[in-house]
């Protein structure tokens, strides 16, 4: 049986408004030792706010305990594994946070003179140089604030180059194994999207690609490794097909954590790509940001990069706005600077060998999970995977249990669910990515939990169908919940016991 290692008992928590009692206060101050002044008279009535009606009156200790108890309800990377595939929810070293909070970096103002910003500009320069070495590209902009933002910037660069040649073209090709933001990006940039089916190995179909590529195609947007975790082994051949027709190859670099130190996209035909700093090179991931999505390009796209560009003059860094072919700004100021600092700290701390080892550890962890879970879950594509593995619920679905049910049961074992029902080319997908930061013990706990759930489905599928049991909100009618959210309903637990 599986030992549940992260559960704890905590009481129901009322809203802070429900805890309020008239006359309580969260602070205690001594009497004034100077004459009291009417705030309205001193500041002007228009600058003084009236009391907030219904504002909770609660003591300091009650306030502290309320928010501390609420914090224990959150699952976090500091508590355990996020097995989410295609997301790279890794633990990030605390030294990166320390460096990003250094006063000279954290308090640098974007409007301060360039002469006082040389250190910050050097950080940008060093990170650009690292990105170019890692990707094998010729130039990079650090402005984009997220992966999807980087995609949009990259396709705008493609459009600008093609327009300069007299024809922006009409279509973008997107494999069905690409990330879901790719077709949205192409549409936002003014292109129509044409889908390319994967072959039986989970790879781009080279023959189908060749049939689709003509003078109307602007670019191919390919995720490599793709969302199955499989490296597109025919990428060089595919790139040649595009280039022979005057089109370009855009690579979604969200899975770059599987390539760092092993392969460089610039060496296998990629013209433009983005990199998710928060996925591959540190920075807390999730919660709405901030993120970083640098875009790296080959030399022919460099004139179109966003302004300003970092340049060197008279032994000083300065920002160059004189770029007549630039697509313009894509973000205020110069990018999410704190994210850039964290990424550079991560790269410098690891060094070349360390970054390569991190990639190899990510590949090892994913393949270890694949090997251990393959006897219990269907593996629809058997091609070698890299940093993530995708199973399906085909075996469990025969007993009425779907991928979402398994994910909810996994919560009872103390883990965040894996990615459910994605990629869409796998029906009932279970997508798992452990990253390089997880220990063998943590991965074994996760594997044991998944095996235990698979065995539960064989003997008592109703147990899994009713999960989760140990959360504050148990399984709900998802359609009904969307229309009529009632979150305190608690279903009956089946007669058989949950795992101890």
The yes-or-no verdict on residue 279 having pLDDT over 70 is yes
Look up the pTM and report it.
Answer: 0.87
The yes-or-no verdict on residue 6 having pLDDT over 60 is no
pLDDT digits (tens, 9 = 90+) for 77-91: 888 999 999 888 888
pLDDT digits (tens, 9 = 90+) for 292-344: 999 999 999 999 999 999 999 999 999 999 999 999 999 988 889 999 999 99
Q: How confident is the prediction for the chain on average, in pLDDT? A: 91
The yes-or-no verdict on residue 155 having pLDDT over 50 is yes
The predicted structure's pLDDT at residue 1: 45
Domain ranges of the chain: 1-74, 94-349, 358-483
CATH hierarchy code of domain 358-483: 3.90.1150.10
State the pLDDT confidence band at 13, using cuts at 50, 70 and 90: confident
* In the block, residue with structure tokens 């360039």: 114
* CATH class of the 94-349 domain in this structure: alpha beta
Please report, for residues 275, 280, 312, 322, 481, the alpha-carbon distance to residue 122 in angstroms, rounded to integers and kept in the order given. 20, 21, 10, 20, 51
Residue (of 227, 164, 182, 167) closest to 432 by Cα position = 227
The yes-or-no verdict on residue 263 having pLDDT over 60 is yes
Sign of the Cα torsion 305, 307, 308, 311 reads positive
pLDDT digits (tens, 9 = 90+) for 352-401: 999 999 999 999 999 999 999 999 999 999 999 999 999 999 999 999 99
Contact 466, 494 (CB under 8 A): yes
> How big is the CA angle at 430 (ends 438 and 82), to the nearest 5 degrees?
30
> Which has the minimum average pLDDT: 6-10, 68-72, 145-149, 445-449?
6-10
As given in the structure block, the two tokens for residue 223 are 């995720």
The yes-or-no verdict on residue 489 having pLDDT over 50 is no
Residue 492 gets which letter from DSSP?
A: P
Sign of the Cα torsion 134, 135, 136, 141 reads negative
Query: Cβ contacts of residue 146 below 8 Å, gap of 6+?
Result: 276, 289, 290, 291, 292, 293
Residue (of 215, 266, 210) closest to 241 by Cα position = 210
As given in the structure block, the two tokens for residue 116 are 């006082």
What is d(CA 337, CA 305) in angstroms, rounded to the nearest whole number? 18
What is d(CA 427, CA 381) in angstroms, rounded to the nearest whole number? 12
């Amino acid at each position: 049986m599986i030992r549940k290692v992260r559960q704890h008992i905590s009481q129901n928590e009322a809203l802070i408004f429900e805890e309020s009692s008239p006359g309580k206060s969260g602070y205690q101050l001594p009497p004034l030792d100077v004459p009291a002044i009417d705030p309205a008279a001193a500041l002007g009535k228009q600058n003084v706010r009236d009391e907030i009606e219904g504002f909770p009156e609660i003591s300091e200790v009650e306030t502290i305990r309320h928010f501390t108890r609420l914090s224990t309800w959150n699952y976090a990377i500091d508590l355990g594994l996020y097995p989410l595939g295609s997301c790279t929810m890794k633990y990030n070293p605390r030294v990166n946070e320390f460096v990003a909070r250094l006063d000279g970096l954290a308090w640098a103002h974007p409007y301060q003179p360039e002469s006082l910003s040389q250190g910050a500009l050097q950080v940008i320069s060093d990170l650009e140089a690292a990105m170019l070495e890692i990707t094998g590209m010729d130039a990079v902009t650090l402005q984009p604030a997220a992966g999807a933002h980087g995609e949009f910037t990259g396709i705008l660069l493609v459009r600008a180059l093609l327009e300069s040649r007299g024809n922006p073209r009409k279509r973008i090709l997107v494999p069905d194994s690409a990330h879901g933001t790719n077709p949205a990006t192409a549409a936002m940039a003014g292109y129509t999207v044409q889908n390319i089916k994967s072959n039986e190995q989970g790879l781009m179909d080279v023959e189908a690609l060749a049939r689709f590529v003509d003078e109307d195609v602007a670019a191919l947007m390919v995720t490599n490794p793709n969302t199955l975790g499989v490296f597109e082994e025919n990428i060089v051949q595919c790139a040649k097909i595009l280039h022979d027709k005057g089109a370009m190859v855009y690579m979604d670099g969200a899975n770059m954590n599987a390539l760092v130190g092993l392969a460089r996209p610039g060496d296998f035909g990629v013209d433009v790509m983005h990199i998710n700093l928060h996925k591959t090179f540190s920075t807390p991931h999730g919660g709405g940001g901030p993120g970083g999505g640098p875009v790296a390009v080959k030399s022919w796209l460099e004139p179109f990069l966003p302004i300003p560009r970092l340049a060197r003059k008279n032994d000083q860094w300065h920002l160059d706005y004189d770029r007549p072919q630039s697509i313009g700004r894509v973000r205020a100021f110069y990018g999410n600077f704190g994210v850039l600092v964290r990424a550079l700290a991560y790269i410098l701390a690891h060094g070349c060998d360390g970054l390569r080892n991190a990639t190899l550890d990510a590949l090892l962890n994913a393949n270890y999970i694949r090997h251990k879970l393959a006897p219990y879950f269907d593996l629809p594509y058997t091609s070698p995977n890299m940093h993530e593995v995708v199973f399906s619920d085909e075996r469990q679905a025969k007993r009425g249990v779907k991928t979402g049910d398994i994910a909810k049961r996994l919560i009872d074992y103390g883990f965040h669910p894996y990615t459910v029902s994605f990629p869409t080319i796998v029906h009932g997908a279970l997508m798992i990515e452990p990253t390089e930061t997880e220990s063998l013990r943590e991965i074994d706990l996760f594997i044991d939990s998944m095996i235990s759930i698979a065995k539960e489905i064989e003997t008592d599928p109703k147990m899994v169908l009713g999960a989760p049991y140990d959360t504050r909100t148990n399984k709900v009618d998802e359609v009904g919940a969307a229309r009529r959210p009632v979150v305190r309903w608690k279903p009956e637990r089946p007669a058989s016991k949950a795992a101890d």
